[in-house]
Structure 1
């Protein structure tokens, strides 16, 4: 009988010295893939996000516990050890744990771990196989390297807020941040990818290496086509509200009872769209026959479409568009998202046992392996929950 295959990162041990979002999100990704992630926290307070509430996880009597929803979102499948790095004994204990780990993740300010002897230069000679990932606001060099960096300010500095929000000439126009900390999340994803690449390379060379990741760098890279719009044209894109800079019609439309999204991605879909709205002649109009021409003539096309789409309900239009292959959909609140039949079918709401709350909800990891599925082995740990266990494991107690 064939033995079941192990999780992709089974046998990999990760030391997580990070807090808040980008680093913990990266470490959670690795933990979901099977790595043993040891989260080091300050005694008494722990990760800053433990106090970022309400909301907090509620116990079986409906009372708030000490675990914030924010903290729970990025720390499942880990073990927590509470150690004071500022003491020689604490720093030495973490160094010993690091010596038996494959990966170390940290997001201290540049040079912040040197005073504890836990920076890469202090570890690399004794731990040549260690993959050491530093996450900072601006990277390890450059004129801003010593400055703190937070998601919100990077969204502004990195250009996202110049292209997000309603146009300046429209009511409510002006800069707008994204509704989730996208810079931290994308940095966590880049960090996960960088670590996986370094682990793969180590299989060939036998050597670890240092990874320097900056929120600003990841944010600029995330802008994708918008940066290339500028780099190829010399014109910086501006805010377009809920419209697309490079595709028309591809935006939010008001219907008679609410709003919907129509995402017409090519000329064939535009022909289907025009047939569905009972205006087939628009698809052969020289002004709109190709996407390039629709962009040039956006100001005449969109008002016509807005008037047409306002004549029926959202669901009537969705029912007309879906059978002919026009991408479209509603704008849902998060409670509606989890009530959606597709989200239910994909089981994106998970629950794991929790010592304080009975159970703790968690959003499913979107990775779907055929033979080594993601396992939800552990709840996000309570502060120092595994301290004694880990100290014994590493011969420190």
Structure 2
């Protein structure tokens, strides 16, 4: 059993933000029923594939964020399918969707309709700009993707090198962070329902989430009146806190504390630097010259040599690629690489595990992603005796 094994979630989402949210719930044991539009989730056909996309049911993108779910294909424009959906709503705990604002209402399946069938329902939406129910704006109804959210939310402006252009963060944080916040909101609503019996609407917007993520830039603007911009790998108020090139790679050093700074100076055989710059303010004021000193020292060392000189005394790490991650025993000990079946490839693939660890109900991926409509008979059979009846 998982911590959420008592929850039934109807997942109407596709692509990344919504599926990642419901994936977190599935990893924690929720029964997530992925209700796919005719033809299935848009990303089923996205690469990469193990061998041949002609024979494989889906690619790595879909596999990664839809593991452990059940699939049913429904067309809300078809009256019979709409009735089947409403029968599922009656028995569900949570509905999650990431359509544009107003889409569900076009089928008369918005929150106000669904709560007539299930007053305790928790209805959750993930949109680029939120839902009018929680704060109406002129942007609602506009499409949004991770790139749009990162641009509007200030992430791109503070990412990249000082002399370079605004740069998006590699992972799709506009989707992933929003999805994680949405999952938290759902769980809070579940807790509220346990206490009161009341369902509610949970709304998380990608733009809002990015403003929350750039919290440092927000308070800097408020305190200084100046918009912060790009600083590369450095930190605006801490030093040293940066990446340094070594003879065979890159390593990061976070030694802004006095004790860590002294340890760096000792490893560099530069007690004069420790004496001349004994406090954070003096180091920050002279960061450019001090960075050159550290960079010159690091350039003569291999990554492993630099790590050995500092590890255990100073926060330090190599900049790893995914090949390094796959070889790291820590990652395997933490079960952060999980094998799952890849249908059509006669092979297993590895996807990321759950970073949430629990001693009694440990979250984990619960099997591969589903084939399209794989569980239709199973799911509808569970509600075959239920007739949807709305409260007037």
- TM-score range relative to shorter protein: over 0.9
Residue 15 in 1 paired to residue 7 in 2? Answer: no
Residue 299 in 1 paired to residue 288 in 2? Answer: yes
Residue 210 in 1 paired to residue 201 in 2? Answer: yes
Give the conservation status (yes or no) of the 8 Å contact 2:46–2:58: no
| Structure-1 residue corresponding to 2:318 | 330
- Give the Cα–Cα distance (whole angstroms) in 2 for the partners of residues 84 and 236 of structure 1: 47
- Give the Cα–Cα distance (whole angstroms) in 2 for the partners of residues 226 and 266 of structure 1: 22
- Give the Cα–Cα distance (whole angstroms) in 1 for the partners of residues 42 and 57 of structure 2: 12
User: How is 1:1-397 mapped onto 2 (pairs within 5 angstroms)?
Assistant: 6-43=1-38, 45-53=39-47, 55-58=48-51, 65-140=56-131, 141-168=136-163, 173-285=164-276, 288-323=277-312, 325-358=313-346, 359-395=348-384
TM-score (norm 2): 0.93
- Give the Cα–Cα distance (whole angstroms) in 2 for the partners of residues 164 and 375 of structure 1: 32
Q: How well do the aligned residues superpose, as a CA RMSD in angstroms?
A: 1.8
- Give the Cα–Cα distance (whole angstroms) in 2 for the partners of residues 84 and 27 of structure 1: 21
- Give the Cα–Cα distance (whole angstroms) in 2 for the partners of residues 274 and 21 of structure 1: 45
Per the TM alignment, residue 76 of structure 1 is displaced from its structure 2 partner at its CA by: 0.8
- Give the Cα–Cα distance (whole angstroms) in 2 for the partners of residues 81 and 396 of structure 1: 18
Per the TM alignment, residue 127 of structure 1 is displaced from its structure 2 partner at its CA by: 1.5
Give the conservation status (yes or no) of the 8 Å contact 2:162–2:232: yes
1:33-61 per-residue CA deviation (whole Å, 9 max, x = no partner) reads: 11100000123x211111222x12448xx
1:318 aligned counterpart, secondary structure: helix
- Give the Cα–Cα distance (whole angstroms) in 1 for the partners of residues 209 and 85 of structure 2: 29
Give the conservation status (yes or no) of the 8 Å contact 1:57–1:67: no
Give the conservation status (yes or no) of the 8 Å contact 2:8–2:93: yes
- Give the Cα–Cα distance (whole angstroms) in 2 for the partners of residues 66 and 396 of structure 1: 32
- Give the Cα–Cα distance (whole angstroms) in 2 for the partners of residues 395 and 248 of structure 1: 64
| Structure-2 residue corresponding to 1:3 | none
**More deviation in 31-40 or 361-370?**
361-370
- Give the Cα–Cα distance (whole angstroms) in 1 for the partners of residues 310 and 212 of structure 2: 34
Q: Which runs of 5+ in 1 are unaligned?
A: 1-5
The alpha-carbon distance between structure 1 residues 156 and 393, as it changes in their structure 2 partners (threshold 3 A), is: same
Per the TM alignment, residue 355 of structure 1 is displaced from its structure 2 partner at its CA by: 4.2
2:243 aligned counterpart, secondary structure: strand
- Give the Cα–Cα distance (whole angstroms) in 1 for the partners of residues 86 and 340 of structure 2: 32
1:56 aligned counterpart, secondary structure: coil
Give the conservation status (yes or no) of the 8 Å contact 1:242–1:252: yes
Give the conservation status (yes or no) of the 8 Å contact 2:26–2:365: no
1:255-291 per-residue CA deviation (whole Å, 9 max, x = no partner) reads: 2232211111412111111111111221221xx3222
The alpha-carbon distance between structure 1 residues 177 and 276, as it changes in their structure 2 partners (threshold 3 A), is: same
Per the TM alignment, residue 363 of structure 1 is displaced from its structure 2 partner at its CA by: 1.2
- Give the Cα–Cα distance (whole angstroms) in 2 for the partners of residues 108 and 126 of structure 1: 21
- Give the Cα–Cα distance (whole angstroms) in 1 for the partners of residues 341 and 155 of structure 2: 38
How many residue pairs align between the two structures?
A: 381
Q: Which runs of 5+ in 2 are unaligned?
A: 387-392
Give the conservation status (yes or no) of the 8 Å contact 2:86–2:117: no
- Give the Cα–Cα distance (whole angstroms) in 2 for the partners of residues 257 and 117 of structure 1: 60
- Give the Cα–Cα distance (whole angstroms) in 2 for the partners of residues 265 and 343 of structure 1: 27
1:65 aligned counterpart, secondary structure: coil
Per the TM alignment, residue 97 of structure 1 is displaced from its structure 2 partner at its CA by: 0.6
